[in-house]
């Protein structure tokens, strides 16, 4: 009886120690969404179960090893026991009960995380090798419906956002660790669009990371996420909805950033995935077929619209998205070319 009491006390102490250590808030990243609160609650509950069962098993084993070891002068084996029906029934029924209960609260948590808010705003997320693009439907002050495209995911705080996830090429995955929720993104058009709901509850800057190996540039497939006050979000959106009224070069730089060009093409002379843009314009380019062309306006425009037409020596065809003539307007393409040209001056 005294052994049982000591083991009981040790199990309680060990459970508290391990449990407090695991749920101390240092394992998981910052919590920045409504969904994260629910997810972390379930996580902590599991940690407590783990702490208890690890303690129960380890304390009993260690206690037996030490206290009931064969001492000096003792001979023979321990008492032989065969079966214990009550114990066996108990250790079958109790875990089954716990597992079923966990399935129920797991389902409840999932339902809670996926709860739909009819007032949710919608953002279309477009993933491509290897960039992110975010599209917002906006109605301007003049009542004109327009689309805002951004390379940063700006979200209002305390407002549910419905993210509609599109992929242009392969499977990617939307994951902001601080939001906890995550969803694979499938190619194949509207039929395969996946949805994810998140309600950011903390202002700040976070990183959206692709969580599915998607090729050479996977590790660079990161985008900024900014959570701001609702009013700040509205003014940002209206600002973005306005036409680009900068110079051609500056607008071109903005499009190159927004539409992911700079995810692969650098402007500092280094080669990451694709040829650098620094000093490209007006210079000779050696192509994979052995010929040489001058990187003029025409060459650059063709390379944006039909990237496989002229492959630069040392690079692979099929890496660059081939739908930029659908995504970009002719003006935007000209502005990007103007930006590339400016990098050779
Ligand atoms: Cu996209 Cu990894």
Q: Does domain 121-241 have CATH number 2.60.40.420?
A: yes
Give the pLDDT confidence of 149-167 residue by residue, as tens digits: 888 899 999 999 999 999 9
Q: What is the SS3 assignment for 245?
A: coil
Ligand 1 centroid distance, CA of 130 (Å)? 7
Spell 170-205 as b/e; 16+ CB within 10 A means b.
Answer: bbbbbbbbbbbbebebbeeeeeeebebbbbbbeeee
Q: How far is CA 125 from the centre of its chain?
A: 12
Give the pLDDT confidence of 194-219 residue by residue, as tens digits: 999 999 999 999 999 999 999 888 99
Say how far apart CA 32 and CA 177 lie, in whole Å.
Answer: 9
Q: What is the SS3 assignment for 142?
A: coil
Report CA dihedral (65, 67, 73, 78) to the nearest 10 degrees: -60
Going by alpha carbons, the residue nearest to atom 1 of ligand 1 is 172
- Whether the pLDDT of residue 141 is over 70: the answer is no
Phi, psi of 8 (to 5 degrees): -60, -45
Q: What share of the chain in percent tops pLDDT 90?
A: 45
| CB of 212 closer than 6 angstroms to any ligand 1 atom | yes
Query: Which CATH architecture best describes the domain 248-342?
Result: Orthogonal Bundle (1.10)
Do residues 165 and 177 lie in contact, with contact meaning Cβ atoms separated by under 8 Å?
A: no
**pLDDT for the residue numbered 32:** 93
Ligand 1 centroid distance, CA of 211 (Å)? 6
Ligand 1 centroid distance, CA of 20 (Å)? 35
Give the residue from 288, 268, 290 showing the smallest Cα distance to 280. Answer: 268
Q: Could you state, in order of their start, the residue ranges of all structural domains in the chain?
A: 2-65+87-113, 121-241, 248-342
Ligand 1 centroid distance, CA of 71 (Å)? 61
- In sequence order, which residues have a C-beta less than 8 Å from that of residue 259 and are 6 or more positions away? 131, 133, 149, 151, 324, 327, 328
Phi, psi of 127 (to 5 degrees): -100, 140
**pLDDT for the residue numbered 287:** 86
Beta strand 194-198 with 182-185: parallel, antiparallel or unpaired?
A: unpaired
Q: DSSP E strands: which ranges in 280-339?
A: 284-286, 292-294
Please give the model's pTM, rounded to 2 decimal places. Answer: 0.71
**pLDDT for the residue numbered 285:** 84
Alpha-helical (H) ranges within 114-265 are 230-241, 248-258
Rounded to an integer, the average pLDDT of 286-294 is: 86
Out of 1-5, 121-125, 321-325, pick the least confident: 321-325
- In sequence order, which residues have a C-beta less than 8 Å from that of residue 328 and are 6 or more positions away? 255, 259, 304, 336
Nearest atom, ligand 1, residue 215 CA: 2
């Amino acid at each position: 009886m005294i052994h049982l009491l000591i083991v009981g006390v040790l199990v309680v102490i060990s459970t508290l120690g391990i449990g407090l250590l695991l749920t101390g808030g240092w394992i998981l990243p910052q919590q920045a969404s409504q969904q994260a609160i629910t997810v972390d609650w379930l996580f902590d509950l599991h940690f407590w179960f783990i702490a208890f069962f690890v303690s129960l098993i380890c304390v009993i084993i260690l206690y037996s090893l030490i206290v009931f070891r064969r001492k000096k002068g003792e001979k023979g084996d321990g008492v032989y026991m065969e079966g214990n029906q009550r114990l066996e029934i108990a250790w079958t029924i109790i875990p089954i009960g716990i597992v079923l209960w966990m399935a129920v609260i797991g389902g409840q948590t999932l339902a809670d995380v996926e709860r739909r808010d009819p007032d949710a705003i919608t953002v279309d997320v477009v993933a491509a090798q290897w960039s992110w693009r975010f599209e917002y439907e906006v109605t301007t002050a003049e009542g004109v419906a327009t689309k805002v495209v951004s390379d940063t995911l700006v979200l209002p705080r305390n407002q549910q956002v419905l993210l509609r996830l599109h992929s242009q090429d392969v499977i990617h995955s939307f994951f902001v660790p601080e939001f906890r929720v995550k969803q694979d993104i499938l190619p194949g058009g509207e039929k395969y669009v996946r949805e994810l709901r998140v309600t950011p509850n903390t202002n700040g800057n976070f990183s959206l990371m692709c969580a599915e190996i998607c090729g050479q540039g996977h590790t660079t497939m990161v985008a900024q996420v900014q959570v701001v006050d609702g009013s700040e979000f509205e003014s940002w959106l209206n600002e973005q909805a306005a036409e680009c009224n900068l110079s051609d070069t500056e607008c071109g730089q903005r499009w190159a950033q927004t539409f992911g060009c700079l995810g692969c093409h650098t402007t500092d002379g280094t080669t990451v995935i694709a040829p650098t843009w620094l000093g490209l314009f007006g210079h000779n380019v050696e192509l994979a077929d052995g010929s040489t062309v001058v990187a003029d306006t025409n060459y650059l425009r063709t390379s944006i619209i039909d990237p496989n037409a002229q492959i630069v020596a040392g690079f692979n065809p099929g890496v660059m998205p081939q739908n930029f003539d659908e995504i970009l307007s002719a003006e935007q393409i000209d502005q990007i070319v103007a930006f590339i040209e400016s990098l050779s001056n």
